[in-house]
Amino acid sequence: MAEARRKNGSEPRIVGFLCNWSSGSGDAPAGAGESPCPDNARIIRVMCSGRVSPTFILKALACGADGVLIGSCHPGDCHYVSGNYKTARRVESMKRLLEQLGIEPERLRMEAVPAGDGAALVRAVNDFTDRLKELGPSPLERR
């Protein structure tokens, strides 16, 4: 089984590209008694998940992220009509590319997170963190 934590004991690093109209509006404390988005996630708001370029994903991984999370609107709820559909197709293509590059495709995840639902965002980040712990540090970090 892969090493659960980094050598220094820190959590896996996640770069999150969050749609401003859905998951990005949930990037606030999750509510009474719940924690804000975990510290291991670096959040970048984008106007639409459809604006997340494959270059952004590769750059995040190349710069040390263990995983990239794209937060989008639910299908049919995109503020820009079809941005989340484009993102879903792009994510599948990127996963194939990552696999060809020797990087586990599970290091890229797309999650539909409702607007203002900080708890759902926290759950998505925590679930992704758990999966990244199973995978271990990014293969790019080993080089």
Which amino acid would we find at residue 64?
Answer: G
For every one of its 143 residues, what pLDDT tens digit does the chain have, with 9 covering 90 and above? 234 445 556 799 999 999 998 876 654 544 444 446 788 999 999 999 999 999 999 999 999 999 999 999 998 889 899 999 999 999 999 999 999 999 999 999 999 988 888 888 899 999 999 999 999 999 987 65
**Unique residue bearing structure tokens 């599948």:** 92
pLDDT at 1: 29
| 80 touches 30 (CB < 8 A) | no
Sign of CA dihedral 107, 118, 42, 17: positive
Domains along the chain with CATH numbers: 14-28+37-135 (3.40.50)
Which amino acid would we find at residue 47?
Answer: M
Helix (H) or strand (E) holding 85: helix 83-100
**Unique residue bearing structure tokens 């690093």:** 13
- Residue 140 is given by DSSP the state T
pLDDT at 111: 95
pLDDT at 36: 62
